[in-house]
Amino acid sequence: AVIDDIPVKILVTEIVLHMRFGYADYDGIRRALKQHKVAVEQEHFETDVSLVCRVEEERSEQLRLELMDITRGNAVITKNGIIMG
């Protein structure tokens, strides 16, 4: 049928997360972000590492838990200016 030939586009809700963590956790964080298909939009290297990322909303809580595990609870992760967790 003609309707079966129409391309379907799946809409995914994305959110922006801001995160801050120590340099020692950078490699582990980057691996986790790649695994969760996170788009890193900004990186700042100062006293700590700060990232601004875009992630699918449905993945955000699992990602947060994994990042907190990697950083032993020391990461600060915010969504819309509110600390997650």
Helix (H, G, I), strand (E, B) or coil at 34: helix
- In angstroms, rounded to a whole number, what is the distance separating the alpha carbons of residues 10 and 46? 38
Q: What is the pLDDT of residue 3?
A: 67
Q: Output the pTM of the full model.
A: 0.82
> What's the token pair of residue 17?
């997360």
Residue 16 CA: distances (Å) to CA of 52, 57, 61, 77, 84: 7, 9, 13, 10, 12
Give 3-59 pLDDT, tens digit per residue.
677 777 777 899 999 999 999 999 999 999 999 999 999 999 999 999 999 999 999
Calpha distance 40→30 (Å, rounded)? 9
Please give the pLDDT value at position 2.
63
